[in-house]
Amino acid sequence: MEFLTTWNFNNLPPDERQKFYKESTLPDGRTLREYWFHALDKEIEIAPGVFFPAWTYNGQVPAPTIRATEGDLIRIHFQNLGTKPHTMHFHGFHPIEMDGALPHQFVYPGETFVYEFDAEPFGVHLFHCHSVPISQHISKGLYGAYIVDPKHDTRPKPDKELIMVMNGFDTNFDEANEFYAVNTAAFYYAKNPIKVKVGELIRIYLINILEFDQINSFHLHAQFFYEYQTGTSLKPDFYTDITVMGQGERSILDIRFKFSGKIMFHAHKTEFAEQGWMGFFEVHE
Amino acid sequence: MLRRRLKTGFNALLPVFLLLLLLLVFLKYGPLGVFKASVPPIEEVFIQKVTFSPDHIVVDVINDGPEPVTIAQILVNEVFWQFHMAPSQTLNPLERGRIDISYPWVEGDVERITLVSRNGVTFETEVNVATVTPTFNFLYFKSFMLLGVYVGVIPVLLGLMWFPFLVTLRGKGYAFLLALTVGLLVFLGFDALSESFNLLKDVPESFNGVGIIVIGLLLAILSLSAVSYKTQHQRREKGEHYQALVWGYLIALGIGLHNLGEGLAIGSAYAIGEIALGSTLVIGFMIHNVTEGVAIVAPLTRTYKHINRFLFHLIMMGLLAGAPTILGTLIGGFAYSAAIAVLFLSIGAGAIFDVSFDILNHMAKGKWLEIFTVTNALGFLSGLLIMYVTGFLVVG
Ligand SMILES: [Cu+2]
């Protein structure tokens, strides 16, 4: 799945990418990153043969990832092509008019709104719809990753960067999830292991947006990782093999695999693992 | 003459013809879109049966809704599991499917199976005590036979053995006995009826279980009444003996149908591990069913004084009332269908109600108000109470 390694629409050919993302330099020398987002009702496949009537940003769940460097100006042209009022509510600094959380900030079907704010603080953040009922707007699929890179980075440089959004789906609308996953598709990375190499630095931007059973976790087999909580420090907080997160919590994980082979990772709430939140790294020499 | 017939035929067929025409027009131009609006598809899957064999769970399902349904995933105890489904994962309306799950289930555990459709709709069933489902072999055949004999045949025959005692009753005693019989029967009839309503939840909605009950009940009442009306004259000619015999057989038949339904329920519950048929439960059924023997024999005591004269008939009645339990447990154990159980139970209820009315009618002799004597009321209530109290033994 492309989502894992995609940000700022860098998976699209240049002319196609222009429709959704533009980068330019402001008079004061800063970088302006402009995005074109829209909300859209769309059916997505969340497990082999199982389809979910999702509410999406740009037709996908999670939304396309937004990535900037600390201090950049972010401008998002948001259009609601869906059937309910939606917003884009970002975690991070922004003027309160840009919060997208109050009823007068709701963007109604057919309307547009422009969100503008500086990218700060650095770290791994998220955005989601804050329309009501929030639990519904989140569980239907309106969320995505928002990464702000530090301006002066002293951390080791990663060889591979992966975005993992831990989510779930309540397909029968009983306020409990039937499917759990990283990046929507249940068991996707179990069937399509993520290929990496021994010794290279893998950086994971991990976000928990699970609705209903909101405590989630990430556990890696046969290996430990450095964890930077919320990614807001240049020094790791932990060296561990498991991290537990409430809804909206996130971390940066740095991994260097010691051994080759098929290495499992999953929620250490086994119920989630057995309902889709389980995958493998395929580590080569 | 011919013209007139043609005209009559035309008159009879015209509405049918017009209805067909209307349907065609409606299908072609009608506002069907209203019904097909953008509402999510209605998916209904009915789980008919769950059977267990070592490391395998087999689920029989039927598409109980108006639209095709695709089963996309299956959870066993909240865990997604591989499965095979025949004939295919997509079932058309009323089509049946069989799902085979290779799952290391544990004897005695609760196993919860959830089917997830293409659209994420879930259908769930829970087996409280997982146990290997009997396959048709001699051992099980034998145990179900024995079960039927114990629960059905023996108790009814035991009840019949009160005959010599009951024969000695005269006047009020006899009236009391008849009223008691009616009480037993009415209780049994309601019991069968409520049992059939209870089973409705196991009948796919598209089978219209209430319809089965109404038809079964009235089928029994109407056909028995029609037969007795038709043979009224003949019976009067043959005298009281004959009348009493007919009653005996009718009661036996009604109870037999009731016991068939009861046997189906016992057999199926046993087979799918829903009840542990302990010895107390069997004993409970035995005591409860002894009263059925009394009900059969009571109307006969007036006309038959010596048991040896019609011992053959008595045994036949006993078998007619009790033996269906054997059949019921066998069918229930190996090829259960809730719809069939409902049908038999409601036919049984109808037969029982019909014969109770017949006895009452006989007691009234045309003067209906005179039936409400203290003796009769006490007898009737005693009948209800006996059934109620012995019923506790079955709760097991
Ligand atoms: Cu929303």
Tell me the helix, strand and coil percentages in chain A, rounded to 5: 10, 45, 45
State residue B97's pLDDT score.
92
Which residues is B126 bridged to in the sheet?
Answer: B112
* Residue from B44, B73, B78 whose CB has the most chain A CBs within 10 Å, to mutate: B73
- Which of B52-66, B190-204, B304-318 comes out lowest in average pLDDT? B304-318
Phi, psi of A98 (to 5 degrees): -95, 10
Most confident segment among A170-174, A239-243, B84-88, B263-267 = A239-243
User: Which letter does DSSP use for residue A174 in this model?
Assistant: S
State residue B358's pLDDT score.
79
Q: Using alpha carbons only, how large is chain B's radius of gyration in Å?
A: 26
Which residues is A239 bridged to in the sheet?
Answer: A226
Q: Tell whether omega for the bond before B87 is within 30 degrees of 0, i.e. cis.
A: yes
Distance CA A213, CA A217 (A): 11
Distance A55 CA to ligand 1 centre (A): 7
pLDDT in tens, chain A (285 residues): 689 999 999 999 999 999 999 999 999 999 999 999 999 999 999 998 899 999 999 999 999 999 999 999 999 999 999 999 999 999 999 999 999 999 999 999 999 999 999 999 999 999 999 998 999 999 999 999 999 999 999 999 999 999 999 999 998 888 889 999 999 999 999 999 999 999 999 999 999 999 998 899 999 999 999 999 999 999 999 999 999 999 999 999 999 999 999 999 999 988 898 899 999 999 998
Q: What is the mean pLDDT of the segment spanning B116-145?
A: 80
Phi, psi of B209 (to 5 degrees): -60, -40
Q: Confirm if B48 and B272 have CB atoms less than 8 A apart.
A: no
Distance A100 CA to ligand 1 centre (A): 10
Q: The tokens 């038709």 sit on which residue?
A: B230
How many residues would you count in chain A? Answer: 285
Distance CA A153, CA A158 (A): 12
Tokens (6 digits) for A99: 């919060």
B40, B72, B122: residue with CB nearest A49: B72
State residue B202's pLDDT score.
81
State residue B286's pLDDT score.
72
Nearest residue of B to residue A270, measured between CA atoms? B79
Q: Confirm if A212 and A176 have CB atoms less than 8 A apart.
A: yes
Distance CA B298, CA B247 (A): 10
More confident site: A46 or B42: A46
Q: Which residues of A touch B115 (CB under 8 A)?
A: none
User: Which letter does DSSP use for residue A183 in this model?
Assistant: S
State residue A201's pLDDT score.
96
CB contact under 8 A, A178 and B120: yes
Q: How does pLDDT run across B307-363, given as a tens digit for each residue?
A: 666 778 888 888 888 888 888 878 877 766 778 878 888 888 888 888 788 778 877
CB-neighbour burial class of residue A218 (10 A; exposed 0-12, middle 13-18, buried 19+): buried
Burial A150-159 (b: 16+ CB within 10 A, else e): beeeebeebe
Please check the confidence at residue B281 and state whether its pLDDT lies above 70: no
Burial B301-312 (b: 16+ CB within 10 A, else e): bbebeeeeebee
Q: Which residues of B touch A49 (CB under 8 A)?
A: 70, 72-73, 89, 118
Residue B116 in contact with partner chain A when CB distance is under 8 A: yes
Q: Confirm if A74 and A116 have CB atoms less than 8 A apart.
A: yes
- Which of A55-59, B226-230, B246-250 comes out lowest in average pLDDT? B226-230
Distance CA A270, CA A213 (A): 13
Q: Tell me the three-class secondary structure of chain B, residue by residue.
A: CHHHHHHHHHHHHHHHHHHHHHHHHHHHHCCHHHCCCCCCCCCCEEEEEEEEECCEEEEEEEECCCCCEEEEEEEECCEECCEEEECCCEECCCCEEEEEEECCCCCCCCEEEEEEECCCCEEEEEECCCCCCCCCCHHHHHHHHHHHHHHHHHHHHHHHCCHHHHHCCCHHHHHHHHHHHHHHHHHHHHHHHHHHHHHHHHCCHHHCHHHHHHHHHHHHHHHHHHHHHHCHHHHHHHHHHHHHHHHHHHHHHHHHHHHHHHHHHHHHHHHCCCCCCCHHHHHHHHHHHHHHHHHHHHHHCCCCCCHHHCHHHHHHHHHHHHHHHHHHHHHHHHCCCHHHHHHHHHHHHHHHHHHHHHHHHHHHCCCHHHHCCHHHHHHHHHHHHHHHHHHHHHHC
Average pLDDT, chain B: 80
Reduce the DSSP state of residue A10 to 3 states and report it: coil
Distance A232 CA to ligand 1 centre (A): 28
A48, A50, A187: residue with CB nearest B120: A50
* Residue from A44, A83, A170, A178 whose CB has the most chain B CBs within 10 Å, to mutate: A178
Please check the confidence at residue B396 and state whether its pLDDT lies above 50: no
State residue B394's pLDDT score.
63
State residue B34's pLDDT score.
55
End-to-end Cα distance, chain A? 23
CB contact under 8 A, A49 and B120: no
Q: Tell whether omega for the bond before A27 is within 30 degrees of 0, i.e. cis.
A: no
Distance CA A65, CA A70 (A): 16
State residue B273's pLDDT score.
56
More confident site: B373 or B134: B373
State residue A71's pLDDT score.
94
| pLDDT confidence tier of residue B93, bands split at 50, 70 and 90 | confident
Distance A128 CA to ligand 1 centre (A): 8
User: Which letter does DSSP use for residue A157 in this model?
Assistant: P
Q: Quote the percentage of chain B above a pLDDT of 90.
A: 9
Which CA distances in Å does B191 have to B216, B271, B395?
A: 15, 23, 14
Distance CA A113, CA B390 (A): 75
ipTM comes to 0.77
Tokens (6 digits) for A281: 């790294």
Tokens (6 digits) for B340: 């069939």
Which residues is B45 bridged to in the sheet?
Answer: B63
Q: For the packed helices B138-148 and B232-271, what is the interaxial angle rounded to 10 degrees?
A: 130
More confident site: A179 or B202: A179
Residue B75 in contact with partner chain A when CB distance is under 8 A: yes
